[in-house]
Structure 1
Amino acid sequence: MLRNLAYTTAITLVLSGGALAQEHDHSHEDVTLYRVFVGDHAEPHVTAFDLGDPDNRWTFETTGQNKLYTVNNGAAVVAVQSDDDAVSFFNSGISLHAHGDHSDIEISDPAAIEETLTGPRPFHMIDHNGKAVINFDRGGYAEIIDTHELSHGELVTTRLPQARAHHGYAAPIGDTWVTSVASDAPVEGDAAPDRIGLQQVNEDGSPVGEVETCTAIHGEAFSGAYLATGCQEGVLTVTDGEDRPVFEMLQYPNDLPNGESTGTLLGSKAVQVFLGNYGADGLVVIDPVDEPHFRYIELPFRRVDFVLDSANARFGYVLTEDGTLHQIDLLDAEVAQSARVTEPYSMDGHWNDPRPRLAMAGDEVIMSDPNAGLVRRISSETLEEVGTIEVEGTPYNIVVAGGSGVVHGAEGEHHDHEHSHDHDDDQIYQGYFDDDQVEERALSDWAGDWQSVFPYLEDGTLEPVMKHKAENGDKTAEEYHEYYEVGYQTDVERIVIEGDSVTFYENGEPLQARYASDGYQILTYEAGNRGVRFIFEKIDGDEDAPQYIQFSDHGIAPAAADHYHLYWGDDRAALLKEVTNWPTYYPSSSSADEIVRDMIAH
């Protein structure tokens, strides 16, 4: 059987662009910067400070108490003030742009955006595919915000009408939209209408198809190809189908505690998995593809807040009311370790009473501690406190922007990272594009006779490439060699593609099969950029030939490839999670020197 080597369990992997592009040649300074935004519980303002230098501090006045969100990879911050019918916006002052093996970072002071939104009770906000969507619960509509424009200080919005005002949400699915739906049954007094399901709608809000049942619909998140939302019956998932969205209800299994449901969901950006609440003292790890869909984790006390680890997709963290922080292992669906980090915060009382909130900053869990007037820094590895920062007032809702990147400072070598509205070829190569730009591709795009570059790495031919990367990157030449040794590793030294036939050569022995297109999958990487896997399924041929092959070559539309990364195996979904091993092929007619020059040029 052909081997496409995987070195780490798929769910532990964090998607990165490193396999998909070479570095840019620029002098640089490596910088890691995280900026924390904290909304006060009692006073209408937001405090921002640099985590590593909290004396760098800014205060922004708002209308009311703020629920904070980051959008566009942290370039902007949205402050939703539900009780005061307002939404404010800020530039975080940190902009990250992915370039394959590294990200560039641009740093400035944070700033308030002059324009705001007002309307009756803004609440849920979704950030997906370049759009931030805020539901105005008492207005019967959602406002759609272009997050790219927002990151450049401009508030550009469109409105999506809903059939009836209710506490719900709207979300983009491919080229269309879905929105929660409320019952038409009359209500008395201040009671809210019953939420009954989810439905596809056009841009003008007109319904398409039937309402998909989801009683008491609440909470939503994206992960991979899936939107998930909590219901009394289970978790309703939505994916982008050929003609319309595809809905599937994942019903709660009988072995979960009776009478509970999921109302809050977090979606991993690295692998296709969700973490949701289940009752006051439980969590569920949700796999939208494979069974068991639900794995339950019982907590020792009621849950206060929880967050996913953005640096290591295997873990999440949950704070319980006894003041203990628990590390959650999503792979094993269990509590991995626990540590006391603050005084107890009872969950008795109102849901909006001041209690700690969690966010992530690299390898630290950042926690607001309202009663202590602190923001606490906690090691995600050991759960030990590594520092505290005093914040005036009652620090409550919290988000973190930033990360690690390269600052380009040499004269004449400055990157211009303002992305054009035309999404030119350079942007697409970097992984910035819209879903509607992606087109199906035929196997003929990769036709030809191809050679693996792995032997060139092993015999030292690619050492000039590793040295070049070390001169401009954050690793030594030896470390880059080790990184690409895992990435390029393969026993398939040659591939020949003719028509629908693919022949793999391992130690000179051929293995042949015929393949037909099985669509494509858009992947979002941890750095914020994206890529496309073009997938083909075996229709006949040698038994040991892989059932699926997946091409990645930086392109998103029909075009002949000049090189490509190939993933293969018998599990379509598992292949989409593979990001450490990406055998890379150049034309067999290319000389070693030509391959080296091409790699250095990119």
Structure 2
Amino acid sequence: MRKGLLALVLALGTVWVHGEKVHGEGMARRLVVADGKAPVVYVLDLEEGKEVARFSVPSLARLYPLPGGQYALAVHRDSGHLSFIWSGLRLVNHGDHQDLRLEAPYVAATLATGPKPTHAFAHGHHLAVFHDGDGTVALFDLRRLGLDWRYRQVATGRPDHGALALLGERLLVGGLESGRVEVYTLEGQKALTLPEACPRLHGEAVLEGVAVFGCQDGVLLVEGVGQGVRARKLPNPPRSPEGARVGTLVALEEAGVFVGNFGQGLAVIRLGEGLKPLPLPARPLRFLAEEGKGVLVLTAEGRLHRVDPLKGEVGPGFPVATPPAQGAPSPALAVGHGVAYVADPAQGAVVEVDLEGFQVKRRLPVGGAPAALALLEVEGMEH
């Protein structure tokens, strides 16, 4: 009976059952925004385009959407805190489907985890946050969010500017100053230090059992092999522009490649072929994967470009944000299914981009200086 009802709902869009209005299955979105000048985080309901919650936080925040689409992580480097923001997008399991309930967002927890938390990495069931001030890593089990806010503290023994990756049951910790990658178990025990050097290590991504870290002279690939790991270096190509290096990375699952920044352009990294530069009209400020195949790039000119890294094609793009002034908050980018959002701090606005038509759909005047975004999306049956 229920499966037949579900098929009817999806076919007709809206029906009445026992006096209750049932909508078809759909996607709900909320956007978490952090101001770049004031310690404030707020949540936008994107269907109505309005603010539904606003919170004072310990200090300025970097934002990360967490797997599952229900929580955003706010990292407060200056105060040494982490905040977990509940989106209000609740899913209730009904066996053959999940009901979607829209609730009021709130700050689920604010934790003092260590000095100068900066970079975070979430994958599978775990979240890792590196503290630059003492080199510790806070390791969370994402399955316990909302139930238990305890975390494991992993000590690396020294302050550094850390980069993290979760590779199966291993925690990889790289350091900008050390130029090395260390391997830890998820219980916090150090397994080994990889001998391969990665000078000025910064940036990471994981794809198909391989982690990539950006280095001053190329990228370092770390692959899980049985119970251990092995690493190899891909150097920067000959005649690379002076000062060009990979320092930020994204993984494109469907395309099977990594993409990183590289001077006034991008670097396309194929595991069996090496690193290939892809020029852009201007320096990339932000870039994220689009549905796993292509890349959306926000350049320093404030233009949004669609890039096909496999074909080496860069679209002409269009203006979406004010180019940032020296020392001012930079625009931010978030990408979802068929839609992207750009924070324009100079104009106090969030811009919504329709990716199917590749054009601005609307501008949301939020005020202040929006400078960090986390887009949260869930699918469920609305009643």
Residue 297 of structure 1 corresponds to which residue in structure 2?
278
Q: Decide which of 336, 356, 366 is 1:381's aligned counterpart.
A: 356
Contact 2:39 / 2:61 at 8 angstroms: preserved in 1?
yes
1:180-215 CA-partner distances (Å, limit 9, x unpaired) = 257xxxxxxxxxxx2321122344443425433111
Residue 197 of structure 1 corresponds to which residue in structure 2?
180
Structure 2 CA distance for partners of 1:96 and 1:317, relative to 1, 3 Å: farther
Question: Relative CO higher for 1 or 2, CA cutoff 8 Å, sep ≥ 6?
Answer: 1
Is residue 2:31 matched to residue 1:31? no
Residue 77 of structure 2 corresponds to which residue in structure 1?
82
Q: TM-score, normalised by structure 2?
A: 0.87
The one-letter code of the counterpart of 1:248 is: R
Residue 162 of structure 2 corresponds to which residue in structure 1?
168
CA distance in structure 2 between the aligned counterparts of 1:141 and 1:360, rounded to whole angstroms = 30
CA distance in structure 1 between the aligned counterparts of 2:317 and 2:357, rounded to whole angstroms = 9
CA distance in structure 1 between the aligned counterparts of 2:294 and 2:93, rounded to whole angstroms = 24
Structure 2 CA distance for partners of 1:249 and 1:102, relative to 1, 3 Å: farther
Is residue 2:48 matched to residue 1:64? no
Contact 2:322 / 2:344 at 8 angstroms: preserved in 1?
no
Contact 2:214 / 2:247 at 8 angstroms: preserved in 1?
yes
CA distance in structure 1 between the aligned counterparts of 2:197 and 2:138, rounded to whole angstroms = 24
CA distance in structure 1 between the aligned counterparts of 2:253 and 2:104, rounded to whole angstroms = 27
Structure 2 CA distance for partners of 1:181 and 1:338, relative to 1, 3 Å: closer
Structure 2 CA distance for partners of 1:141 and 1:32, relative to 1, 3 Å: same
Residue 316 of structure 1 corresponds to which residue in structure 2?
295
Residue 471 of structure 1 corresponds to which residue in structure 2?
none
Structure 2 CA distance for partners of 1:224 and 1:206, relative to 1, 3 Å: closer
Flag structure 2 segments of 5+ consecutive residues without an equivalent.
Answer: 10-23
1:246-272 CA-partner distances (Å, limit 9, x unpaired) = 212122221543442100111234443
- Superposed, 1:175-214 pairs within 5 Å as 175-181=169-175, 194-202=177-185, 203-208=187-192, 210-214=194-198
The one-letter code of the counterpart of 2:149 is: L
Contact 2:121 / 2:166 at 8 angstroms: preserved in 1?
no
Post-superposition shift, 1:343? Answer: 3.2
CA distance in structure 1 between the aligned counterparts of 2:4 and 2:173, rounded to whole angstroms = 45
Q: TM-score, normalised by structure 1?
A: 0.57
The answer to which structure has the higher helix fraction is 1
Is residue 2:330 matched to residue 1:391? no
1:151-198 CA-partner distances (Å, limit 9, x unpaired) = x3531300111021111134332233322257xxxxxxxxxxx23211
Post-superposition shift, 1:54? Answer: 2.2
Q: CA RMSD in A?
A: 2.6
CA distance in structure 1 between the aligned counterparts of 2:258 and 2:97, rounded to whole angstroms = 27
Structure 2 CA distance for partners of 1:178 and 1:361, relative to 1, 3 Å: closer
Q: Which range is displaced more, 88-97 or 118-127?
A: 88-97
Post-superposition shift, 1:307? Answer: 1.8
Contact 2:134 / 2:157 at 8 angstroms: preserved in 1?
no
CA distance in structure 1 between the aligned counterparts of 2:74 and 2:220, rounded to whole angstroms = 28
Residue 15 of structure 2 corresponds to which residue in structure 1?
none
CA distance in structure 1 between the aligned counterparts of 2:300 and 2:332, rounded to whole angstroms = 12
The one-letter code of the counterpart of 2:270 is: D
Is residue 2:134 matched to residue 1:139? yes
CA distance in structure 2 between the aligned counterparts of 1:320 and 1:277, rounded to whole angstroms = 11
Post-superposition shift, 1:232? Answer: 1.6
Structure 2 CA distance for partners of 1:114 and 1:242, relative to 1, 3 Å: closer
Flag structure 1 segments of 5+ consecutive residues without an equivalent.
Answer: 1-22, 183-193, 410-602
Post-superposition shift, 1:38? Answer: 0.4
Is residue 2:248 matched to residue 1:264? yes
Q: Decide which of 286, 299, 316 is 1:337's aligned counterpart.
A: 316
Structure 2 CA distance for partners of 1:98 and 1:249, relative to 1, 3 Å: farther
SS at match of 1:148: helix
Is residue 2:381 matched to residue 1:407? yes
Post-superposition shift, 1:298? Answer: 1.1
Residue 472 of structure 1 corresponds to which residue in structure 2?
none
1:281-318 CA-partner distances (Å, limit 9, x unpaired) = 11112222x31x32322122222222221xx3222111
The one-letter code of the counterpart of 1:159 is: Q
Aligned residues: 364
Contact 1:142 / 1:169 at 8 angstroms: preserved in 2?
no
Is residue 2:227 matched to residue 1:243? yes
Post-superposition shift, 1:87? Answer: 1.1
CA distance in structure 2 between the aligned counterparts of 1:60 and 1:24, rounded to whole angstroms = 41
Post-superposition shift, 1:373? Answer: 0.8
Contact 1:295 / 1:333 at 8 angstroms: preserved in 2?
no
CA distance in structure 2 between the aligned counterparts of 1:136 and 1:219, rounded to whole angstroms = 15
Post-superposition shift, 1:109? Answer: 2.6
CA distance in structure 2 between the aligned counterparts of 1:107 and 1:360, rounded to whole angstroms = 21
Contact 2:252 / 2:294 at 8 angstroms: preserved in 1?
no
Larger radius of gyration: 1
SS at match of 1:212: coil
Post-superposition shift, 1:68? Answer: 0.3
Structure 2 CA distance for partners of 1:314 and 1:72, relative to 1, 3 Å: closer
Structure 2 CA distance for partners of 1:325 and 1:315, relative to 1, 3 Å: same
1:499-525 CA-partner distances (Å, limit 9, x unpaired) = xxxxxxxxxxxxxxxxxxxxxxxxxxx
CA distance in structure 1 between the aligned counterparts of 2:208 and 2:68, rounded to whole angstroms = 16
Contact 1:75 / 1:95 at 8 angstroms: preserved in 2?
yes
Is residue 2:325 matched to residue 1:325? no
Structure 2 CA distance for partners of 1:102 and 1:254, relative to 1, 3 Å: farther
Post-superposition shift, 1:105? Answer: 4.5
Structure 2 CA distance for partners of 1:386 and 1:204, relative to 1, 3 Å: closer
Residue 217 of structure 2 corresponds to which residue in structure 1?
233
CA distance in structure 1 between the aligned counterparts of 2:196 and 2:362, rounded to whole angstroms = 48
The answer to which structure has the higher strand fraction is 2
1:37-93 CA-partner distances (Å, limit 9, x unpaired) = 100011111110111112351102101111000112222111001122111111222
Contact 1:359 / 1:365 at 8 angstroms: preserved in 2?
yes
The one-letter code of the counterpart of 2:183 is: Q
Residue 342 of structure 2 corresponds to which residue in structure 1?
367
CA distance in structure 1 between the aligned counterparts of 2:294 and 2:171, rounded to whole angstroms = 31
Post-superposition shift, 1:122? Answer: 0.3
Residue 307 of structure 1 corresponds to which residue in structure 2?
288
